């Protein structure tokens, strides 16, 4: 986990409310974003990304890492509340 993700992780512990957590676990990319990420991933696997596309793809990957962390924290919070 990158240092930025670790800092983000610690900050979010105190900021995610149960209402936010419920919304975060349902968060998904819309069809247009998912199609673009799939396109970039295919080009990446084939070694065909331009430098601009590489930057865009890296930005999506980073954003998805943050979202995945938020969703994991949200699931943990919600499961802890049910217990």
Cβ atoms of 24 and 7 closer than 8 Å: no
Q: In the prediction, which pLDDT does 71 show?
A: 95
Q: CA angle at residue 16 from 79 to 68, to 5 degrees?
A: 75
Output the pLDDT for position 7: 86
The pLDDT of 52-73, averaged and rounded, is 95
**In the chain, where the domains are located:** 3-82
Q: Is the pLDDT of residue 1 over 80?
A: no
Q: Tens of pLDDT along 28-55?
A: 999 999 999 999 999 999 999 999 999 9
Torsion of CA 29, 35, 41, 44, to 10 degrees: -130
* pLDDT in the model for residue 40: 98
């Amino acid at each position: 986990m990158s240092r930025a993700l670790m800092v983000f992780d610690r900050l979010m512990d105190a900021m995610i409310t149960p209402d936010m957590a419920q919304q975060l676990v349902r968060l998904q990319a819309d069809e247009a974003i998912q199609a673009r990420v799939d396109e970039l991933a295919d080009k990446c696997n084939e070694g065909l990304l331009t430098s601009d596309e590489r930057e865009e793809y890296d930005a999506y990957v980073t954003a998805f890492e943050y979202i995945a962390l938020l969703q994991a924290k949200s699931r943990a919070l919600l499961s802890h509340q049910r217990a």
